[in-house]
Structure 1
Amino acid sequence: MRASRIVSTAAVLAPPLAWAAVHASSRQARRWRPGEGERSTVAGLGVRRFGAGQPVIVLLSGLASSERMWGAEYDVLGRRATVVAVDPIGFGASMSSPLLDGPLDAAAHVDAVLGVLRALDLDSRPTILVGHSMGASLALRVAARLPSARAVVAFDAPLYRTVEEADARVRHMGWFESLLAQGPLAERVCHWMCENRAVAESVAVAVSPRLPVAVARDVIRHTWRGYLAGFDAIVRDGGWADALRALDEREVPVWLVDGVDDPVPVPGRADALAEDSASVTAARLPGSHRLPLDDPMGCASIVLGVVSGYAAAR
């Protein structure tokens, strides 16, 4: 009887102990701390602002993510610039944005970010757009529409030329992104999460032991319409190419930075774009598709270098 109780207890404790072991060994989870700044709602979007420098740095989070991904190791950016970390329409603190009641095409996403800058009276100041994954593609589009844009840093950008190309690579984006990409099962799962938000957050944490807990919880902070619209309008849409051409004509520098082990970008695309344009620089850092979490110091250093380059060129 005693042996049976020991076996039963071990069976109960094994999963949480295994989770704790993986979590403790994860560099992403171990190094992450919440970033500084005050969170608020600006022009319908969730925003965190910190720093007081003259240039503006806009941080745009990706699909199934939030501005929390830009943790404390990005606080260094606030020493050189005014930093505005934004959750795009439908995600994170913008999950219930009133902007969801309107059109949700790429132009609406761009207008929303520009609306934040105008509301904060920052739209005329020199701006560096920084984004991850979907946010990287959005950063290119925003910069193309913003006359004061001085540079773009795009981490793990999904630069797909066709819908077919995007669909062929979506399975590489992660278990959650792949599950919710499209189809009736994805819609049912997303609706269940909306109705059972607390349980869904716990599940997201349980199946993502390598992520910081706060970041894992935000994986499910979106609605079906917001997720699908962002995926179709930004990730599966080839409008990034037009934005890149517009930036090239204005000689706005663009850094395309991918993780060495990132399976999401099309192999060789960033290098090919850099060969075709003197304004584009392709680079790689150690990490996979969550590069800003894998190598926050490396990513922050690149952004700081861009800010320094802007200041030297003035």
Structure 2
Amino acid sequence: MRASRIALATALLAPTLAWAGAHATSPEVRQWRPGVGERRQVADLGVRIHGAGDVVVVLLSGLASSERLWGGAYDVLGQHARVVAIDPIGFGASMESAALAREIDADAHVDAVLAVLTALDLHELPAMIVGHSMGASLALRVAARHAPASMVVAYDAPLYFSTEEADERVRHMGWFESLLAQGPLAERVCEWMCDNRRVAKALAVAISPRLPVVVASDTVQHTWRGYITGFNSLVRDAGWSEALRVLSTRNVTVRLVDGDHDPVQVPGRADELASTYSNVTAFRLPGGHRLPLSDPVGCASIVLAALSEYADKRS
């Protein structure tokens, strides 16, 4: 009897022990810590602000994410610039943005980011727009509309020329990710999460042991309308290509930084764009589609180098 109880206890504890082991050994967990700064609502979006200087660094999080993605490794940016980390419409602390009551397209997302800079009286300062995934696509569009923008750093940007190409790349992420990216089942799952937010967060943490707990819990901090409008207007839409053309005419430096085994990327796309536009440079770092988490020091260093380059040009 005692042996069977021990066996039962071991079986019940095994998933918890496996989760704890994966969590403790995850490089993304070990490297992440909360970022500094003041979190508040500005122009109806959730933002975190820190640092000082006469240059602004805007950090834009991606699909099903929040500004907490940009953890403590990025605090160093505040030593050289005013840092504004923003949750785009529909995600994180912007999940209940009033903008969701209206039609949401890429321009609405850009308007919202620019409204934050205006509300903070930072809209006339030179700006470096940095984004990850969907946020990288948004970063290109923001910079194209924002005259003081001097550089874009785009991590794991979804650069697709058609919705068909976008859907094909999503399928490369795996059957589960593809199933929940869009469609009736994805909508039902998302609606269930809205109705059971606390349980959904716990499940998100449970199935993502290699992510920091708060980052994992933020993956469900959205509604279906917020998610699908962001996905359609900033991931599946090819408007980034026109933004890139505008940035080329203004000679705004663009750095496309991809993980060397990121399934989201179209093979060779970043290199193709770099060969087409003299203002574009393509980089690869070891990793997949979560570069700001998997290599935060490397990603922060690229932005620091951009700040140094900009300072040298001004001196």
Instruction: Give the TM-score, by structure 1 length.
Output: 0.98
Identity value in percent: 68
1:295 is matched with 295
1:240 is matched with 240
Which aligned pairs between 1:3-18 and structure 2 lie closer than 5 A? 3-18=3-18
Counterpart-to-counterpart distance in 2, 1:53 and 1:176: 44
For 1:223, the aligned partner's letter is T
**Contact (CA 8 Å) 2:31, 2:296: kept in 1 or not?**
no
Deviation larger for 91-100 or 124-133: 91-100
Counterpart-to-counterpart distance in 2, 1:143 and 1:63: 19
1:98 is matched with 98
1:52 is matched with 52
Once the two structures are TM-superposed, the CA of residue 176 in structure 1 deviates from its matched residue by: 7.2
Counterpart-to-counterpart distance in 2, 1:169 and 1:13: 38
Counterpart-to-counterpart distance in 1, 2:174 and 2:116: 30
SS of the residue 2:181 aligns to: coil
1:17-70 CA-to-partner distances (Å, cap 9, x unmatched) read: 000000011000111100000100000100000001110000000001100000
1:274 is matched with 274
For 2:223, the aligned partner's letter is T
**Contact (CA 8 Å) 1:63, 1:177: kept in 2 or not?**
no
Which aligned pairs between 1:1-314 and structure 2 lie closer than 5 A? 1-173=1-173, 178-314=178-314
For 1:97, the aligned partner's letter is S
Counterpart-to-counterpart distance in 2, 1:124 and 1:25: 44
Instruction: Give the TM-score, by structure 2 length.
Output: 0.98
Counterpart-to-counterpart distance in 2, 1:266 and 1:50: 35
RMSD: 1.0
Counterpart-to-counterpart distance in 2, 1:95 and 1:176: 24
Counterpart-to-counterpart distance in 2, 1:203 and 1:270: 35
Counterpart-to-counterpart distance in 2, 1:179 and 1:231: 14
Counterpart-to-counterpart distance in 1, 2:261 and 2:308: 28
Counterpart-to-counterpart distance in 2, 1:24 and 1:274: 39
Counterpart-to-counterpart distance in 2, 1:170 and 1:53: 39
SS of the residue 1:139 aligns to: helix
For 2:214, the aligned partner's letter is A
Unaligned runs of 5+ in 1: none
SS of the residue 2:111 aligns to: helix
Shift in alpha-carbon separation, 1:84–1:296, aligned structure 2, 3 A: same
